[in-house]
Amino acid sequence: MPNPLLNIDQLPHFAAIKPAHVVPAMERVLEESRAKIAELCKIKQPLWHNFACVMEGIDNHIGRVWSPVGHLNAVRDSTELREAYQKGIELLTAYHTETSQNKELFRQYNRLRSNQEFADLSRAQQKVIDNNLLDFVLGGADLPSAEQNQLRQINQQLSRLSTGFERNLLDSTQAWSLHLSDRAQLSGLPQSAIDAAAQAARADGKSGWLFGLQLPSYLAVMQHLENGDLRRQMYQAYTQRASELSENGEYDNAPLIDQILELRSKQAQLLGFANYAGYSLVKKMAESSVAVLQFLNDLADHAKPVAEQELGELKEFARQQFDVQELNVWDISYYSERLREHRYSFKDEEVKQYFPAPRVLTGLFEIIRRLFKVEIVANSSIKVWHEDVQCFDLYVQDSLANGGKRLLGSLYADLYVRKNKRGGAWMDSCVHRRKHNGKLQIPVAFLTCNFTPPNGDTPALLSHDEVATLFHEFGHALHHLLTEVDEIGVSGINGVAWDAVELPSQFLENWCWQQSSLELIAQHYQTGQSIPCELLEKMRAAKNFQSGMQTLRQIELAMFDMRLHCDYDHADPESSVTALLDEIRSTVALIPAPHYNRFQNSFGHVFAGGYAAGYYSYKWAEVLSADAFGRFEEEGFFNPKTGADFLRSILQRGGVDDPNDLFVEFRQRPPQIEPLLRHSGLKQAGKLA
């Protein structure tokens, strides 16, 4: 039977893909790639068409084989797939390291760069070549063979450690649960959370109610359960995940963190950087770790006074209304939710009735149509990996295309939490746009969330925060799918500076708050009634509730990440990751963390994702997104020209141009921080350094 992973002319046949297919497919495609590269290194005059374009095709082929494997590992975890994935990622890491250190291949790119043909290439093609040359330098192509070998070993170790970190976190999250059999213990919980817990218990062969550390279950308990002792248990279990304090230390990530930091430091130093932050920032907008930390400190100066006032109000409210003299850390979410309900006279459970997932999707698609003239249509013929997954095609009107519309891309949407699925929300690429020999490869995206699933005849009801999450990830998907760049190395989000990549995602979140767009996405799941104007105004009034505290939390995480990678000395026996986090908390955080808090052991963005020395990107890009949205505030939320300009200047341009130049093209001036401060309720104004 043919290996389904090798059939790259069609979308993946997920049901046919087995763990046993992974290693043979990767061995074959990598062997073929090495043979092609060997031939490319013999070309006497490397040009775009006979060299760089062929390399693009090699990268595309590998990506088409590997992307379904990486995706299934995140959404359909099993012991067999884990083992196959680990072997596959080791093969892939070895190949990438070997390729990036190939001195003859490096020389070929340099020959092409210095060839007179280079000036006649498109800007996208030139950018692909320049990016590849930088990747060779960062991959160690200039290093002596002994140091190349060191770097090769480091890359393999980092790959294994990052995968291990992510698996420990998933296993630790799934290993803990809270089983309740007394209904009185559920006091305060919304009915939707009770129903979800009952459904979870039944699925586990139990009566009563089962709560876990997956975010929908955890947040429901922390925000609504009256029983403070149970909230404490949940908080402690959640903040101890993947640590020596959970599951007898079976999934402890602390040793992995130490090894990852040490190896990253060695990697950076081998390549001539003082620290890993310097290495990481080479491809980002921010010029240095000093600039990043200054940006974060400036933002903290705006946020901290607001946060201090918010915390004072919360403590006073808890004293007056509940006779609570001291707030524990596991009380913060609970009493914050009571204060929000008291101040704005509505509950999340009331709001959720108006956000059934099918209606939210329909409304989101209409918003995209109005903004960018893109039509999104369901496609039930695409093969999926789980019955919950939905597929959609994106079209634009085109009189020259068959049927008067042109296919732009396709999207898999996997929205609901389930066992053996990684937590969180993300967008990833399945297929990249590429045009070769007159044939266009259509981009395809994976959009993954972890919302509470439908229950019987009741559709999935989303909180407004979950609606914002969906919009956020869809913004990433649009960046990937609406690109008009034909070179794979800079199409979609490829080649985009990491601290600018959040611009489209955070930008789209703004349409969760406008009355004209909320009318499209909000409709009562039973009555079909539109969301009442009174409730809508209450929601909008509560938009910046505790925004100072939330901003400080993000600054804390961003500072922790950056300082881990620029001035933390892993070799100093007096230093520790926990001590550094405690130091940062002492200057930024307002709420002391308990001694058992091991947040760092679950910081997957930094230790198992792409955000090492880059977590600040969320706030950095939020400056850009808030300011970009400011033009829509000035010209109209569905102004067709403004939408067309954003599409042309941001979404379609891929990684060809400098993000700052693209922003200036759209906004006709450099970015300013004032819109972010205004949108966040932090009031004061200033400019982005």
Task: Print burial letters for 313-352: b (CB count within 10 Å at least 16), e (below 16).
Answer: ebbebbeeeeebeebebbbbbbbbbbbbeeebebebbebb
| Residues in CB range of 68: below 8 A, 6 or more apart | 5, 12, 14, 17, 430
**473 flagged as catalytic:** yes
- Are 198 and 217 in contact, with CB atoms under 8 Å apart? no
Helices (H), 449-545: 464-481, 503-509, 515-521, 533-541
Cβ atoms < 10 Å from Cβ of 579:
11
Listing DSSP states for 73-118 in one string gives HHHS--HHHHHHHHHHHHHHHHHHHHHHT-HHHHHHHHHHHHSGGG
Measured between alpha carbons, how far is 670 from 675 in angstroms, rounded to an integer?
A: 13
Q: How many residues does the chain have?
A: 689
Amino acid (one-letter) located at 2: P
Catalytic residue among 310, 473, 622, 674: 473
Measured between alpha carbons, how far is 272 from 406 in angstroms, rounded to an integer?
A: 48
- 683 Rama sector, left if φ>0, alpha if ψ -120 to 50, beta otherwise: left
Measured between alpha carbons, how far is 162 from 267 in angstroms, rounded to an integer?
A: 15
Measured between alpha carbons, how far is 448 from 213 in angstroms, rounded to an integer?
A: 18
Measured between alpha carbons, how far is 587 from 298 in angstroms, rounded to an integer?
A: 13
Listing DSSP states for 616-652 in one string gives THHHHHHHHHHHHHHHHHHH-TT-HHHHHHHIIIIIT
User: Which sequence positions are flagged as catalytic?
Assistant: 473
